Amino acid sequence: MSEKKIGAYVCSGCGIGDRLDVNQLVNTAKRDGKANEVKDHPFLCSAEGVKLIQDDIDNNGVNRVVIVGCSRRAKTEAFSFENVAITRANIREGVLWVRPDAPEHAETTQEMADDYVRMACAEIKYMGIPSGSGEQDLTRHLLVVGGGISGMTAAIEASKTGYKVELVEKSGELGGMVGKMYKRVPTKNGLQGPVDTGIAAMVAAIEADANITVHLNSTVSKTEGAPGRFDVEIATESGSTNNVRVGAIVQATGFKPYDMSQLPELGAGNADVVDQMGFEALAKAAAGGAIKRPSDGKEVKSVAFVQCAGQRSDKPGHLNYCSGHCCTTSIKQAMYLREQNDATAVVLFDDLRTPGATGEDFYRCGQEKGVTFSKGQVSGVAAANGGLEVKFKDLILNEETAMEADLVVLATGMVANSGPNPYLALDLEAAKAAEDTAQVAVLEKQIEVAPPSILNLQYRQGTDLPHLKHGFNDSHFICFPYETRRTGIYAAGPVRRPMDAHQAVEDATGATLKAIQACENAALGRAAHPRSGDLSYPSFRKEGCTQCKRCTVECPFGAINEDEKGYPQYNEGRCRRCGTCMGACPVRVISFENYSVETVGQQLKAVDMPDEFSEKPRILVLACENDAYPALDMAAAKGNTYNPWTRIIPVRCLGSTNTIWITDALNSGYDGVILLGCQKGDNYQCHFVKGSEIAHIRMSKIDDTLKSLNLEQERVQTYEVSIADIDRIPQILDDMASTIEKIGMSPFKF
Amino acid sequence: MSEVIATNQTILVAGGGISGLTAALEAAECGKQVILVEKGPTVGGRVGQLYKYFPKLCFPTCGLEIQLRRLKANKNVRLLTMAEVTGISGEAGNYTASIKLSPRYINENCTACGECGKAVEGEYDDEHNYGMKKRKAAYIPYNLAYPQRYVLDPRAVGTDDGERAKAACKYNAVDLDMQEETLELNVGAVVWATGWKPYPAAKIQPYGYDRYDNVITNVEFERMLDPFGPTGGKIVRPSDGVAPKNIAFIQCAGSRDRNHLKHCSRICCMASLKQTTYVAEQLGDACKSTVYYIDIRAIDRIDDFYQKVQKDPNVSFVKSKVANIVSGSNGNVVLNGVDTEGYNRYANDHDLVVLATGMESTVPQGVFPEGTVINEHGFIDLEESNGAIFGAGCSSDALDVNRAAQNATAAALRAIQVVTKVAAQEG
């Protein structure tokens, strides 16, 4: 790489030239920013303005570009140059639009703009041009764990996209739960009634597919590596192992039916009380003929389906969620009885949940076939008169009543067949370190009863996908169902959240895309969203590292392992580029090519610091680029204003905030520091899961620094904000200005 | 506009809402070429008009911002706004799509400086706010609208306002002579994700949406909560601007109904439950919410949201399909019906009624090649005979945002499979 040559380009359009001294901005870029080429243009985003910059890149060797004008979120199509580092001095949304246009404000507005020019020039000096590590090849090969309908779908869809697949199934055959069913609920035209499961056709397709290798009676005994280069050991029951390299993983390990023996009050233990899978077995055995009851082989003439059995309930041992599929499953099973046995089939429900078009049609089909639906709360099932008596409260007639039945089907729920919570071991480590014996005992108990690992990931942060809720491996995001905390590994089907077979197929197809995308991204060194396409990746200076392990523990994505000496081992493919490791590092040896302790540190130092008696405080704001920074842009566009003392630096995630920035800011005379991150905690909004939370913890320790400097605690404030806080964030900034007015200027101005 | 390059290895995505954006970005991030076509001036679709998502109560703009960033960063996606797919012919791997480009009257020069918006005088109903407020003739549809460029209302063209906008622009961005254009594009696969529209509430005559000021729809209620919306974020009665004390939410208004939409629209139960939390947060004990329902479909793990709302003493549930709504006193209305739990007739007075109107598909007739199956509910099923035309999101069924994004990701893979095959054949 040739030497760094900075070009700074000042736009005087959008009123900038009317309200600011553009010549001064140009001089600031030259004199303070040490930019090699500085030009101004009245309409920089025009073809002519862009050409001005491109010419400097092509002919004058400019490889570091500073755009002085609008926000980095605006005019991105125009200001997109190849093979150069680019930054913005945001003097439109960040200065012009948030300051009143009045002569008495002209001086402070100009100061703000000059500072942003200095900051951008300081930042760009320390920015490199990321190129990806080249640590992975394109591996068009997936591992799919689980041979049920979700896993088989993933395998078939991957093969159709030209990928090879290793399909690992624990049992001796493919098909999973749906394979054990007589028929299934249709995926379209619900009025047609139950349809063939399609499992036999899928199994045949897989067996005929040269792209798919099936491993029956097998489990994954070891998974090492990263997207693009996962090395997987597949162990068979017989003890032999296979080693394969895959690019990404789909985990479709399904569900276990809830253990109905925990429902004795609903007749569990009686041979004629079965769960839905038990009923499927009876239907399958009947093979289209009359369904017979298990106790005596009598053709069943009346059946009660008890919905929400042990579900949607706070009782200990029950599932307090809805399993999503059981209403349509019971309707389907009731239809078998109507057609094969001409039996009375009564569905006792609280809310009948058959959403969407196909779902509602299927419900209607059940009604047309004479299935009885009754809103009722079942209180007990017991043997009576050679059959069963179901006691329930009829919610329509508002009375306690009972019905007799030959057979009772309990619609019990789905329990995720996921691996152990990977964080238990880390939490135990922390509890031991903190000598919290009570917590140690709790965690040890949890670890003891945890299910066996499914993926056996050789990750510093545990062996499996993290759980979200109730043991399911779901994404926490509404908009991003395939968000994963282990990049390149995607949960699909009911292991992710309770769902029916139709959804499992859709889910598995989507998960397959994400797995393929992970392979393609890894090969190019690109990050997954939210920093899609980012080629930068973290590296560390080994000579400075003290092996403190904070980076390996705090990474929200489990991207960093440790070698035998305790040094971090980065895995670019797993990394999401949030910079939480960089923020964690007490000796500041971690950096990205274009984002580092220096790129931010130099910006905050570049601000011109007026003396203590100037009555011009300086407030440093570190704003999350995902939510706080766009909110500030929108506040500006809406005409909200804030004080001219504020200097804002976007950060990738508040988790990337290194406390040295705060210390440096306080030492160099800033009067206040504000950190703006996303919502933390269980209902987090942080796009990097834990970044905001970790930043809040770090900042809670900044008090010591403030004390040692003899500064007031109010000078450093950390907030959880959202992208919708368009009015609130300017208020936060002004509140800090008022606070400083009250407590006075910092004495640390030099 | 600059040339649009497409080949039979290109994926066409129709619709720039959450499903279309998701399908386009997921395919593009797999390295495929995508043309994303949006009828309106901005991407974002219905989710851009929502205040919060259930069950997290987070802001839709948060995820939208990430999608926009992905879009800005990815050169594989070409976005066309003010563009509508009017016809598709051909077969899987080789379609010709006709695209009608309507004039925006403001070109790519626009910097969003806002001068045209200040200069114009005319005001029109604001589509983003379902006509509940006015916007200027030159406008940015909403805070996060993308492309971040103004739009000039076609009704202002040929008037003084058009000239004012033009005169105010320093960047030669206002082009009053812009004409409608048609593009013919060769594409290999199509993801259809044009989403849904709220079922027209006035068609449900017994509920009197067109007769009573204080009978509104769930999407209108959603706009009320937006701090930049028609009421500045306040929950008020349209008739007198006063905060309501006793709101009714009527479920299945036009859904699960043979006279209207036969299907269940899936989202409305959770949407109403969510909206009761808005009421609780803003009005506290000063306002009661009553949900009239057939079944509460708070499916799977988000059932806990329902459980939480049930614990709120200010929210009550009546299992009933409301028969009709009649006029009461002081702008109030009276809901008549039978509470099926106990079979009691009621005539309940409410000062505001929110109709949980359902989702109507926007899949058009007459656009697709012969043989494309659109089911009786207006959704595109996954059928062999559909070739490489894949419904996504609410063009495939009534879905919530999470499932729409899931489904759109699946649809993207199906489209990728087609263009990958084309690429393999062509070497």
Question: Can you tell me the distance from the alpha carbon of A130 to that of A127, in angstroms, rounded to the nearest whole number?
Answer: 9
Q: Which domains does chain A have, with CATH numbers?
A: 1-129 (3.40.50), 141-254+454-524 (3.50.50.60), 261-407 (3.50.50.60), 609-750 (3.40.50)
Instruction: From B359, B386, B401, give the residue that closes a domain.
Output: B359
On whether both B299 and B219 belong to a single domain, the answer is yes
On whether both B299 and B384 belong to a single domain, the answer is no
Q: What is the pLDDT of residues B316-345, one digit of tens each?
A: 999 999 999 999 999 999 999 999 998 899
Test A351 with B379 for CB contact under 8 angstroms.
Answer: no
C-alpha torsion sign, points A126, A131, A135, A141: positive
**Average pLDDT across chain B, whole number:** 97
What is the per-residue pLDDT for B162?
A: 97
> In the predicted model, what is the mean pLDDT of residues B177-203?
97
> In the predicted model, what is the mean pLDDT of residues B347-375?
96
Question: Can you tell me the distance from the alpha carbon of A4 to that of A15, in angstroms, rounded to the nearest whole number?
Answer: 31
> In the predicted model, what is the mean pLDDT of residues A25-51?
98
Test A479 with B67 for CB contact under 8 angstroms.
Answer: yes
Q: What is the pLDDT of residues A265-288, one digit of tens each?
A: 999 999 999 999 999 999 999 999
**3-class state of residue A229 by DSSP:** strand
Flag whether pLDDT at A132 surpasses 90: no
Test B264 with A162 for CB contact under 8 angstroms.
Answer: no
On whether both B17 and B72 belong to a single domain, the answer is yes
Question: Can you tell me the distance from the alpha carbon of A692 to that of A210, in angstroms, rounded to the nearest whole number?
Answer: 47
On whether both B287 and B348 belong to a single domain, the answer is yes
Test A357 with B26 for CB contact under 8 angstroms.
Answer: no
Test A356 with B263 for CB contact under 8 angstroms.
Answer: yes
On whether both B374 and B246 belong to a single domain, the answer is no
What is the per-residue pLDDT for B2?
A: 66
Question: Can you tell me the distance from the alpha carbon of B65 to that of A624, in angstroms, rounded to the nearest whole number?
Answer: 13
Query: Does residue B321 fall inside a structural domain?
Result: yes
CATH number of the domain bearing residue B355: 3.50.50.60
> In the predicted model, what is the mean pLDDT of residues B408-412?
98
What is the per-residue pLDDT for A239?
A: 95
On whether both B136 and B223 belong to a single domain, the answer is no
On whether both B286 and B206 belong to a single domain, the answer is yes
pLDDT over 90, % of chain B? 97
Residue B48, amino acid: G
Asked whether the beta carbons of B21 and B74 are under 8 A apart, the reply is no
Instruction: From B311, B332, B359, give the residue that closes a domain.
Output: B359
Q: What is the pLDDT of residues A54-65, one digit of tens each?
A: 999 999 999 999
How far is the alpha carbon of B330 from chain A, nearest alpha carbon, in Å? 34
Q: What is the pLDDT of residues A206-262, one digit of tens each?
A: 999 999 999 999 999 999 999 999 999 999 999 999 999 999 999 999 999 999 999
Test B63 with A479 for CB contact under 8 angstroms.
Answer: yes
How far is the alpha carbon of A207 from chain B, nearest alpha carbon, in Å? 20
Q: What is the pLDDT of residues B237-285, one digit of tens each?
A: 999 999 999 999 999 999 999 999 999 999 999 999 999 999 999 999 9
Test A477 with B424 for CB contact under 8 angstroms.
Answer: no
Query: Does residue B107 fall inside a structural domain?
Result: no
On whether both B236 and B328 belong to a single domain, the answer is yes
**For an interface test with A, which of B297, B376, B379 has the most A Cβ atoms less than 10 Å from its Cβ?**
B297
Flag whether pLDDT at B1 surpasses 60: no
On whether both B238 and B266 belong to a single domain, the answer is yes
Instruction: From B330, B359, B388, give the residue that closes a domain.
Output: B359
Query: Does residue B109 fall inside a structural domain?
Result: no
Q: Which residues of A touch B228 (CB under 8 A)?
A: 638, 726
Q: What is the pLDDT of residues B36-71, one digit of tens each?
A: 999 999 999 999 999 999 999 999 999 999 999 999
Terminal CA-CA length for chain A: 37
Q: How many CB pairs under 8 A join A and B?
A: 245
On whether both B371 and B394 belong to a single domain, the answer is yes
Query: Does residue B175 fall inside a structural domain?
Result: no
**Average pLDDT across chain A, whole number:** 96
Q: What H or E segment, with its residue span, contains residue A120? A: helix A106-125
On whether both B146 and B212 belong to a single domain, the answer is no
Query: Does residue B47 fall inside a structural domain?
Result: yes
Question: Can you tell me the distance from the alpha carbon of B191 to that of B368, in angstroms, rounded to the nearest whole number?
Answer: 12
**Integer-rounded Cα radius of gyration of chain B:** 23
> In the predicted model, what is the mean pLDDT of residues A329-355?
97
Asked whether the beta carbons of B217 and B354 are under 8 A apart, the reply is yes
How far is the alpha carbon of B68 from chain A, nearest alpha carbon, in Å? 9
B312 lies in which domain range?
199-359
Q: What is the pLDDT of residues B119-176, one digit of tens each?
A: 999 999 999 999 999 999 999 999 999 999 999 999 999 999 999 999 999 999 999 9
What is the per-residue pLDDT for A2?
A: 66
**3-class state of residue B402 by DSSP:** helix
Q: What is the pLDDT of residues B5-24, one digit of tens each?
A: 999 999 999 999 999 999 99
A358 in contact with chain B, both atoms CB, cutoff 8 A:
yes
Sheet strand arrangement including B181-187: B83-91, B94-101, B181-187
Q: Which residues of B touch A476 (CB under 8 A)?
A: 56
Flag whether pLDDT at A582 surpasses 70: yes
Give me the number of domains chain B comprises.
Answer: 3
In which band, very low, low, confident or very high, does the pLDDT at A383 lie, cut at 50, 70 and 90? very high
Question: Can you tell me the distance from the alpha carbon of A41 to that of A57, in angstroms, rounded to the nearest whole number?
Answer: 16
Residue A157, amino acid: E
Flag whether pLDDT at A1 surpasses 70: no
> In the predicted model, what is the mean pLDDT of residues A126-140?
90
